[in-house]
Amino acid sequence: MSDSSAAGHGQSSSPTGSDETPGSLTTADGTPLKVSLRRAESRARRKAFFLVLPLLAFLLITFAIPIGQMISRSVRNPEVADYLPKTAAAIQAWDGQEVPPEAVFAAMADDMKVGLENRTLGRAAARINREIPGARSTVLGTARDLDEMSPPYKEAFIAEDEDWENLEFWSLIKRETRTITPVYYLLAFDYEYSPQGEIVERPESYQVYRMLFLRTAWMSLLITSLCILLGYPIAHLLATLPLKSSNLLMILVLLPFWTSLLVRTSAWIVLLQQQGVLNDTLVWLGVIDDNNRIRMIYNQIGTIIAMTHILLPFMILPLYSVMKTIPPSYMRAARSLGATQLRAFVTVYMPLTIPGLAAGVLLVFILAIGYYITPALVGGDTGIFISNLIAQNMTGSTAQLRLAAALATILLLAVLVLYWAFNKLVGVDRLKFG
């Protein structure tokens, strides 16, 4: 990559060399030096481009395109427009004041016939049912009896099921004819459309995502702080101990780093569960009663402990690599100039470790807010993160893939904003990752 950017500079300075003044330098075969240099450069640039081409293609196919698809999926809403096309056209003229005219019902009957034939009616019904529970039975039930009905359909439908008189149902259909919708982003922030089409907060018993975004943020912050608290002294020890003992210590840091994530998480389950090692020991020591074992896992505590342990190496390693380069003579100089140990540490040593600390914070925090498997295994109900609800919206029988896409897009944007803010504050070029 650096090759091609250097070549880019060469090209930007070239316009000045286009005029051939007499006596300018030429190569052995008579072409001006500048021209031949430019040729050589562009050849090198092309070569460099072909070398990175596989990587570019790989990134495009496995990264950029899926993310683009995810973002476009989060605003798409094709069901009603695609599967009830005639109704969608007929209802545009409806003013929403009273039950729609016969033309809309007749269009609905036509769409139902086609939808039953292609078995696509269920998809439209499923979409409507998400907003109005029970609407699915209204639509599918009426469609099944359509053979026995005759026009006018308005009376026939209402005789079949009085929900066809429900104005909310028809306003929803009208709103759903838009193929691009912000509704999944509204849901992601616990808002929704009211039956009148205004944006309102969802009922309290349905609110969850804002709270989870906040929880993900504060728990990640807490985990990052714990990693600093635990990692800083260890990194300092690693950097200052004699080589022999620091190597041993380094292995102790790296060994869990290389161990499978699942193994480490399961190990915490064995240690912390109510019938686990730690509770057994406490009962045996008589600290707690056998019937009042402490619940340390399947809640927030479990997530915090396990994730701090798992992410700790990402803090220690960048810190260590920076601390290793700080000459011990700096601290000695500060002491000899009369600073106390604390003052020398705070004013000389600490500022020098900032690039490593900042890199560690960035790594740990960004890894933490997107973490999935550990909260899923040890988080129980109160210790889960936003990523767990994204996953829940992707599986299960009532999966809402588009809501999952909207939540994931928000998470992605949050990470980008964080990175940008961090860059402003600390400067990413100053970071040292190891």
274 binds another protein (CB under 8 A): yes
d(CA 168, CA 189): 23
389 binds another protein (CB under 8 A): yes
Shortest distance in whole angstroms from residue 324 CB to another protein = 37
58 binds another protein (CB under 8 A): no
264 SS3 class: helix
335 binds another protein (CB under 8 A): no
d(CA 200, CA 198): 6
Q: Which residues contact 277 (CB under 8 A, 6 or more apart)?
A: 270, 271
For 301, the token pair is 């505590």
Binding another protein by CB under 8 A: which of 381, 424, 425, 429? 381
Binding another protein by CB under 8 A: which of 4, 177, 181, 207? 207
For 134, the token pair is 């029970």
208 binds another protein (CB under 8 A): yes
DSSP states of 177-201: T-SB-SHHHHHHTTEEE-TTS-EEE
211 binds another protein (CB under 8 A): yes
Binding another protein by CB under 8 A: which of 286, 289, 396, 425? 396
Shortest distance in whole angstroms from residue 24 CB to another protein = 36
With CB under 8 A, what is the number of residues at the site for another protein?
39
Binding another protein by CB under 8 A: which of 129, 171, 353, 409? 129
Residues 369, 220: contact at Cβ < 8 Å?
A: yes
Binding another protein by CB under 8 A: which of 392, 418, 422, 433? 392
248-283 burial: b if 16+ Cβ within 10 Å, else e: eebeebeeeeeeeeeeebeebeebbbeebebbeeeb
34-39 long-range contacts (CB < 8 A, ≥24 apart) are 37/10, 38/10, 38/11, 38/14
Binding another protein by CB under 8 A: which of 88, 108, 112, 125? 125
Q: Which range, of 7-15, 158-166, 229-237, 396-404, touches another protein by CB under 8 A?
A: 396-404
Q: Which is nearer to another protein, 99 or 126 (CB)?
A: 126
Give the binding site for another protein (CB under 8 A). 118-123, 125-126, 129-130, 133-134, 136-137, 140, 205-208, 211-212, 273-275, 291, 298, 380-382, 384, 389, 392, 394-399, 401
